[in-house]
Each structure stands twice: as C-alpha cells, then as structure tokens.
Amino acid sequence: MNDTPPDEDWRGYWLGRLDDDAAARLECRLLADDRAVDALREALTDLHDDYAREQLTVAEHAAFRDRVLRVSAEARARQRFAQAMKPLPEASRRAPRPAAAARAARRPSWTLLAGALIAAALALTLSLNRHWLAPAADAGGAAVPVRDAAAPTVLLLAPPASGPAAPVQLALDPRAVELRVQAEIRPLEPGRRYRLRVLATAATDEAPALFEATDLPVQPLGDGQFVEARVPAPALLGETRRLRVDALPPAAAFHAEWTVLAPVSRTPPIALPAP
C-alpha cells in the first residue's frame, strides 16, 4: 500500500528512530499534505497490530511500549482493540516475552489451523462424497450454515442491477479444505429458498455443476441478507469458475452470478475473527 515516498519513514517516526532533522521534515510534510496524515495514522495502526501479533523486533517492541503505550491512555485503549482483533489461538494466556523468541513460536498457529482443517475434513467426508464434483442430478440436500470460524469465509455482494459483477479473485490457501461462501440476495423475496452452484466457466446454466447446495435459507448478516454454503476448496482452487445462485423453484426469476478466480496462493483469504 504505497503511495508514500520512500523517504517518509512514519514507522520510524513513531518508534523514535529518526534524527531531529528527519523528524522535522516529516512533521512539515504532515502540515502540508493530508495524505501524510493518513500515512502517519496507518503507521501507528500497523504498529498496534504488529505489537499484538508479536511481530516487532525486541527494540521495536520496547520503543513502542515506552514511546506510545506508556504515555497515552488512548493508545492503550487502541492496543486492547488490536489484541481483541487478533484471531485467538487456544493457548492464549502467556506472559509477555521478547519479540525475537515470540517470532520463533509464531508458527504453531499454522499447526492449529491445519489441525482444525483436518478435523473438519474428517467430519465432512460424507458431504464431500455427495457434493464434490458430482453431477447436479446426484447432488442434493441442504448445506446447513454453521458458525465455524475454522473455514475461511468468502463474502459475495449482490451484483449491480445493470451489468455483471466484477470478477472476484480469491487468495486461497492451498491447504484449505472448504470455504464458507456467503452470497448476498438482493432483492429479497420473503419465504424463498435458494440453490448455489459452482460451474465451469464455459458451462451452460443448466449444465452439471461441480458443486451444488440447495434449499438454502436466507440469513441476515450485518445489513444484508445472505445464503451460505460450504464449498469444497477443490471446486474453486486453481481455476476460474462461475458461482451462481438461483431462487427455488428453478423457474423463479431471481438469479445472481459471480465469476470467481482462485489462483493457488499462500496468502490466506479474508475471514472473520474466531469466536
């Protein structure tokens, strides 16, 4: 995220790494340009998050603690927020430790995630057999949305009234077993239920689906109404797919569609914080 000139070290400014002249230059920049104000605020927010995630060096940790947290009640309140935003591993109560040692121990969060995904895969074996790459005629049964923060969540907003939705690019972890796909329904017809299908790009609307979940109820989420289905990651990973939602019965007028691109990537997808 860099429209900031490379000589603007706002992070260094907060941590007291700049000499007086460099700090004065940055402060003058602050007084001349609103983008510098945003860069300053962003550097501080990122420091709060890095502190919470134990991703600061020992020196940075000490500097942030002494220069910001120790002298500002507002900063301490923001730090509590940053700590709360951090997804919580099960073994969460630990004494503060130097950041260098903490970095070496950071990887257990991947182990916990891998364990959760394996457990989810075992629990869903029957469902996978039924839905994974099965022709639409054999697929069926409702995918009951459950609140399980282990599966990454993909939010698909309703396409615009005129024209198709912009393609949605997902950064899927290749180790992901399944995704919670939440597709917005707008306009909403009370009482309707919906079908969600994953189709190959070139397939017709009624071609056999790579994945299908049917009889989906609408659920509120924030200020929108969504249907949710658990889509096996292989149905999406590495390919361009059409993800289509139809109102039931199939003859009903409503449908919405997204083009989903999911190249293989190590960047985890967006997900809501764990409970």
- Residue 169 within binding range of other proteins, rule CB under 8 A: yes
Q: Residue 194 or 210: which CB sits closer to other proteins?
A: 194
Distance in Å from the first CA to the final CA of the chain? 29
- Residue 50 within binding range of other proteins, rule CB under 8 A: yes
Q: Among residue numbers 119 through 148, which ones bind other proteins (CB under 8 A)?
A: none
- Residue 79 within binding range of other proteins, rule CB under 8 A: yes
- Residue 239 within binding range of other proteins, rule CB under 8 A: no
Task: Name the segment binding other proteins (CB under 8 A); options: 84-92, 135-143, 238-246, 248-256.
Answer: 84-92
- Residue 273 within binding range of other proteins, rule CB under 8 A: yes
Task: Name the segment binding other proteins (CB under 8 A); options: 107-115, 126-134, 191-199, 241-249.
Answer: 107-115
Q: Residue 89 or 234: which CB sits closer to other proteins?
A: 89
Q: Among residue numbers 215 through 234, which ones bind other proteins (CB under 8 A)?
A: 221-224, 226
Non-local (6+) Cβ contacts of 231 within 8 A are 178, 179, 181, 196, 198, 211, 213
CB of 199 to other proteins, least distance (A): 22
Q: Residue 13 or 194: which CB sits closer to other proteins?
A: 13
Query: Beta strand pairing status for 168-169 and 255-261?
Result: parallel
Q: What are the φ/ψ torsions at residue 67 (nearest 5 degrees)?
A: -85, -25
Q: Residue 158 or 209: which CB sits closer to other proteins?
A: 158
- Amino acid identity, position 116: A
* Rounded Cα gap, residues 9 and 247, in angstroms: 52
- Residue 45 within binding range of other proteins, rule CB under 8 A: yes
User: Of 5, 16, 76, 101, which lies in the binding site for other proteins, with binding defined by CB under 8 A?
Assistant: 76
* Rounded Cα gap, residues 213 and 261, in angstroms: 20
Cα-based distances in Å from 209 to 95, 121, 170, 199: 51, 21, 20, 5
Show the binding pattern over residues 240-269: x = contacts other proteins (CB under 8 A), - = does not. ---------------------------xxx
Burial 231-249 (b: 16+ CB within 10 A, else e): bbbbbbbebebbbbbbbee
CB of 57 to other proteins, least distance (A): 12
- Residue 186 within binding range of other proteins, rule CB under 8 A: no
Q: What are the φ/ψ torsions at residue 63 (nearest 5 degrees)?
A: -65, -45
